[in-house]
Structure 1
Amino acid sequence: MNYKKSLSVAGILWLGSSLFAANAEEFNADNYLTGDLGGVRSQLHDKGVDLQLMYIFETGTNLKGGQSEHEYSYADQTIFGVDTDLQKLFDWQGASFHAQFVNRGGQSQNLATKAETGQLLQSLEVYGRGRTTRISAFYYEQKLFDDKLNIKLGRMGFSSQFASFRCEMAYLGGCSSQPGNFNSTIYNFPIAPWAAVVNYQFNDEWYLRTGAIQMNPSWLTHGQRLNFLNASGTEGVTLPVELGWTPKINNLPGIYKLGFWHDNVGGDDLYFNQNGAALALNGGDAKRNNSRNGAYFLVDQQLTSEDGSEQGLSLFSMGTLNDRDMTTVDRSLIVGLSYKGLFDGRDDDNLGLTAHYLHVSQRLADGERLQLQNGQLVNLQNDEWGITTYYTMQVTPYFKLHPELQFLGNPGGTSANADVWAAVIRGDLTF
């Protein structure tokens, strides 16, 4: 879908927002560009109908590095969602329904591809899964036993339910759930396969969440983008489990998560062929592994506070462990600091600094070493690392502007690629 079509979809969704509300939880008309629309939004909110309409754009250039410097790329994303409180509407205790549609547009190539930087993750996270409109959520939610038990059934992606992480950065390695960025059997937003997720809240601080998520590559195709039912081609299931702790340490909020996942789909081996010999030297078809596992952790803790508010310094981090036999990046880590409200009168602005590390699988590197020993010209891969700094400006309650500077060392895990400096601007507009 080209840029003009993307704006056309955004316009249609904007007309829809004129008829409905646009948020869940608490309603505040000041948070929306179009306000309360004469009281329509607040009335519908009170009846249990809330809609979300957002437009996000990201644009950037490689200041240095890549085969072609000063390339430019642009991507946008329009999100239209409906949250329906069935308890308010029909007196169905603890029941709700959620639907969300996403249109991704912009240029056909992301910045990394246009500039040929070789980096492992994109500088513009909005890219991915095609320039088209997709169903990104369509599920029923039921709360039971005084809201301790929560059950979700329907269409939803891994990243909306597991390893959910703050998404303040345009760099993909610092935005949202990371396991899906490395593993082909895990689908992140905006892909929404069929799934069942169960969450049990032991108390105010501890929860355990598990689920079963369909693994079907047909959902990635253009033809299935608005299919509400089921696409043929299901290969298996991903089974994640997550233990979460949400304490207040020194009266400051924190989020800690530890997760594990297993699937019965597996994937192609990076080193062995079907005869048990090295692919790099002997060729042939890759050995097929029938399952894979992975794990992750997440930390997000406020460290200081101004008068007990959200303003202050926070530490956040996320790490993944992926199956080295099948996954190019077998482990990753990001660590960052952010300060909300650093400057007087800018209480909702956020200044951040992060460092990230990506490790290329030793199995893949072993194959490359064999090629080098046999006189073949290949680039031996090892580690990629980088630093990102950003400043999120809350221009109005409904508009954020976010400049970001990214440095990537050893792009692709090899010194054969020049280090990259990229400048990015992101904007978030809530209608």
Structure 2
Amino acid sequence: MVWCVLPVSDAQAQYRGPVSRSAPLFELDTPTSFANTPFTPKVENSVEAWGTLVRKLNEKGIGIVVDYTSESAIALDTAHAGDAAYAHQIGAELDLDWGRLVGWQGLRTHAVFVNRAGHNLAADLGDHSLNGYQEIFGSGGDVGVKLVYVYATQNLLRNHMQIAMGKMPVNIDFANSPLYCVFMNKSNCGVPKSLTRNDAGFATYPGSVWGGRVRYWPDSGVYAQTGVYGVNPDLNTNRYDRSGFRMGTSLYTGVYVPVEFGWIPSFGKNHLVGHYKFGVAYDSSNYPDLYFDTDMNSAVQSGKPHRQTNGKTQLWLEADQMIVRHGDGPLHGTYILAGMTRGQENNSPYGFQVFAGLVDRGFFKRRPKDTIGVEWSETFASSSLIAAQWERYRKGDPLPGNATYPQSHLMTLEATYAFQLYKGVSVQPDYQHIWRTNLQRNKPQVDVIGLRLHAVL
């Protein structure tokens, strides 16, 4: 193993981590290299005149990205065979480097707006779990113009420290990897969705809450970060404000405090980059116990209200490692990835999730920008939820979560290939196989064929 200890600026240039060129989240804030939040995503523009203008604006400290992503899916071999759905996102990102604009060194601001529209195929199949065949539909569904986030970052201590404050999602910083959004299934894109469905505090893109984060690089290969965010259980709902422009905190129920430690080593003469992270988080909000009533008996049997629990914790362990390098680009090689999450069984719907996969870019020398991906994921309902649902089922009571049978676990397998058609334009055929839709044993297996289109202006 070679762990190179270089100045941050040199390490950033030489050991850039993976950046998804087809993901709808643009370049995520999560550390993927020995550096902090970049000024603006480095994208290929499909319209050369626009790209030339953007590069000139970048030199003045103004970064602009406009892109379009669509995801279509059709179900096969089920009672809903032939059902199809289309969803899209039009996104616009504005980044400002205030050092170049007015001389305030290290200060940058970041904002993203999206338009989302379309139809959710998973709902047609009775699946209201974390699984979704079109991740672009998640978190709010149709919305004309949505403010995703607006926040500022300040670099300190010769770029070894960065603070961030504003209205932002948790998942752009924590438990994230650009590799995850190579895939169309919603269960892992951005972050493993058992985290966001486990805890209202884990605000996820395209929703955002007021908060702050500090990240520190004590050396060129390790980092630590923590933050404090408001908890809004009605985020991305009409009760709050699906457009994202409501700035009040009256619906907040507590604070969410994540802590994450990461290591980004580089192995051998080919600089095979890896990303290893461990995180734990605490949500101070109150949540109902999924099984017990106020007297610590079964709430289903007694008919009494569920007892309230104070706070919940969750953790994640994630890793990816390049094992073969095909070129100098950040994704030019073969990455293997794996991870797991753990939720609190008594007040979280999902106990844990495990996943593993492979992402490769540049496998074919004549197609250096094509990306191949294969991923498997399995998610387990919490033991408290399972026990309560079985009691409801035996009594003939309706089940939560649109379930028609007690839930247990869900498994997905996805294979995908993104063709680079032109600068900034890709077409991505996709195949997904789902076992136990909606985490139900009585649901048939589902095959889905999908297609993602992505274009950067």
TM over 0.5: yes
**What's the offset of the Cα at 1:54?**
1.1
Q: Secondary structure at the match of 1:386?
A: strand
Q: 1:277 offset after TM fit, Å?
A: 2.2
CA offsets, 1:17-53, max 9 Å, x none?
A: xxxxxx955867xx11222449432221111001111
One of 191, 200, 215 as aligned partner of 1:184: 200
Equivalent-residue separation in structure 2 for 1:180 and 1:374 (angstroms): 31
Displacement, 1:418? 0.6
Aligned equivalents of 1:353 and 1:38: distance in 2? Answer: 32
Work out whether residues 361 and 372 of structure 2, in 8 Å CA contact, stay in contact via their aligned partners in 1. yes
Judging changes above 3 Å, is the alpha-carbon distance between structure 1 residues 27 and 123 closer, same or farther for their aligned structure 2 residues? closer
Q: Is 1:362 aligned to 2:383, yes or no?
A: yes
- Residue aligning to 1:168: 182
Tell me the number of residue pairs that the alignment of Structure 1 and Structure 2 aligns.
404
- Separation (CA, whole Å) in 2 of partners of 1:161 and 1:228: 22
Question: Given the superposition, is the C-alpha separation of residues 307 and 348 from structure 1 closer, same or farther in structure 2, using an over 3 Å criterion?
Answer: closer
Alignment of 1:242-261 (within 5 A): 242-250=260-268, 251-261=271-281
Separation in 1 of the partners of 2:207 and 2:432?
A: 27
Matches of 1:103 and 1:277, distance apart in 2: 47
Identical pairs, percent: 23
In the other structure, the counterpart of 1:293 is: 313
- CA 1:373–1:43: 2 relative to 1, 3 Å: closer
2 CA distance for matches of 1:26 and 1:61?
32
Q: What letter is aligned with 1:237?
A: V
Aligned to 1:19: none
Aligned residue runs from structure 1 range 343-358, under 5 A:
343-358=364-379
How far residue 285 of structure 1 moved from its aligned partner, in angstroms, is 2.6
Match of 2:141 among 130, 138, 146: 130
The CA RMSD measured in Å over matched residues stands at 2.2
Q: Does the CA-based 8 Å contact 1:68-1:116 persist in structure 2?
A: no
Per-residue deviation, 1:218: 4.8
**Do the aligned residues in 1 keep the contact of 2:39 with 2:97 (CA within 8 Å)?**
no
Find 1:324's aligned residue among 345, 365, 369. 345
Cα–Cα, structure 1 residues 53 and 24, in superposed 2: closer, same or farther, change >3 Å? Answer: farther
Task: Name the counterpart of 1:340.
Answer: 361
| CA deviation profile, 1:210-242 (whole Å, cap 9, x unmatched) | 000111235433463242632422211100011
Tell me the SS of whatever aligns to 2:196. helix
- Larger mean CA deviation between 288-297 and 304-313 belongs to 304-313
Q: What is the alpha-carbon distance in structure 2 between the residues aligned to residue 394 and residue 40 of structure 1?
A: 23
Is it true that 1:152 corresponds to 2:164 in the alignment? yes
Counterparts of 1:358 and 1:198, CA distance in 2: 31
Q: What's the TM-score once normalised by structure 1's chain length? A: 0.88
Once the two structures are TM-superposed, the CA of residue 312 in structure 1 deviates from its matched residue by 2.7
Q: Could you tell me which of 26, 51, 63 is aligned with 2:64?
A: 51
Q: Which moved more, 1:239-248 or 1:321-330?
A: 321-330
Q: Is the 8 A contact 1:386 1:406 kept in 2?
A: yes
Q: Distance in 1 between matches of 2:42 and 2:200?
A: 38
Q: Distance in 1 between matches of 2:105 and 2:251?
A: 36
Q: Is the 8 A contact 1:117 1:417 kept in 2?
A: no
Q: In structure 2, the residue corresponding to 1:89 is in which secondary structure?
A: helix
The normalised TM-score by structure 2 is 0.83
Q: Cα gap change, 1:234/1:25 in structure 2, threshold over 3 Å: closer, same or farther?
A: closer
| 2:432 alignment partner in structure 1 | 406
Q: 1:182 to 1:396 in 2, by over 3 A?
A: farther
Q: Deviations over 1:130-172 (max 9, x none)?
A: 3112211111111111011100010110111111122111101
What's the offset of the Cα at 1:368? 3.0
**Structure 1 range deviating more: 346-355 or 151-160:** 346-355
- Residues 63-99 of structure 1, C-alpha deviation per residue, up to 9 Å, x if partnerless? 123x422211111111111100000111101111111
Deviation at 1:244, TM superposition (A): 0.9
Does residue 1:68 correspond to 2:80, yes or no? Answer: yes
Of residues 266, 274, 278, the one that matches 2:294 is 274
Shift of 1:197: 0.4
Structure 1 residue runs of 5 or longer lacking an equivalent are 1-22
Alpha-carbon distance between aligned partners in 1 of 2:286 and 2:51, rounded to the nearest angstrom = 54
